[in-house]
Chains A and B, each alone.
Chain A
Amino acid sequence: MSFPLLVRPIRLSIEAIDRRLEQAAGTLGAAPWRVFATITLPLALPGVLAGMVLGFAKAIGEFGATITFVSNIPGETQTISSAIYSLIQTPDGDTAALRLVLISIVIAMSALIASEWFARRATQRLHGN
């Protein structure tokens, strides 16, 4: 379900790479797949990270697909979102649900901060600092 969210930013960042650098790599003897591995991919790294975080965020919040295909078995297929759902359905589950909500907020925030940090580092590397 989160695949489009992953693909879009990665694709955009690959498209944004200067084709002329890839040509230069070709004249230096790099075959197309090596151009991709040594030039295109490293330069697209910030976009790849952004895509991964978006994909991760969407996956953590995934509810519909989980419930439909693997249902909600505690200890087996229960995800954090379906666990929150179950807890809200149970009497006195509110505090536990709140705890899980806080945990997911923390996970989401850390992923965001980590990806921002990586992206910033990658961008800095590109601009030569």
Chain B
Amino acid sequence: MLRVEAIKKLGEFTLEASFTSEGRVTGLFGASGAGKTSLINMIAGLLRPDRGSIVIDGETLDDTTARIHVPAHRRRIGYVFQDARLFPHLDVRQNLDYGRRMNRLADDPAQRARVTDLLDIGGLLDRRPGQLSGGERQRVALGRALLSKPRLLLLDEPLGSLDEERKVEILPYLVRLRDEANVPMVYVSHDAAEMRQLATQIVMLRHGRVTSFGGVKVLSAGLPPA
């Protein structure tokens, strides 16, 4: 369960979000500039709310009245960025292993095999990020986040930097991830079709505020104007 009640002022823009989601995939939906990325940066711990609280499965990660702020590296929240952000000086294998090493988790070859199969990246292990296509990079980034064994996976428009063809290539992997990986996800997108395919609950954001919340049907209530 994810509960967010947070206010953050960013220059002229004020993000004021409040929702509770039990869904397997919570979709954060809204036009660009609606505050989607700021919101998941707060969940990840990269951005600190001015006021409010963030609670995951009963554990408080942020609470400004109690002065609680768990830093990003202790949250066990995986994050897949729009631009993949693979480490250029490490090969794919080392990138995938990074989260396990940093969290001092025991080596888990079975889990690694499962994730590399799920994402079809077994053939890329010895390459460096510079030698991968955009779609491959995004798949490796997904694998890297999954292998750090997060309790929640944040995906910030993971298809945003890809062309239509690549999107079609990655989308099935995301569906498989949702159905097989057993990690709750928060999926950010401005694409209603993606949301329909992936999300189980939708949080609709507009100008930094939650305008509607519910099942996928809230999408058909019309796109929020920018």
Contacts and interface: CB of A to CB of B under 8 A. Distances in A.
Interface stretch (A23-31, A47-55, A81-89): A23-31
A39 B76 CA distance: 19
A64 interface: no
B130 A28 contact: no
Interface string B5-42: 00000000000000000000000000000000000000
Given A20-B81, A125-B89, A128-B131, A25 B44 contact: no
B130 A128 contact: yes
Contacts of B195: none
B71 to A, nearest CB: 8
B81 A24 contact: yes
Given A23-B72, A27-B79, A29-B73, A128 B88 contact: yes
Given A34-B102, A129-B130, A27 B89 contact: no
A28 B98 contact: yes
A27 B83 contact: no
B72 A126 contact: no
Interface of A: 18, 20-21, 23-32, 34-35, 38-39, 42-43, 125-129
Given A25-B102, A27-B46, A27-B79, 10 more contacts: A23-B85, A24-B79, A24-B87, A27-B72, A27-B73, A27-B75, A27-B77, A126-B89, A128-B88, A128-B130
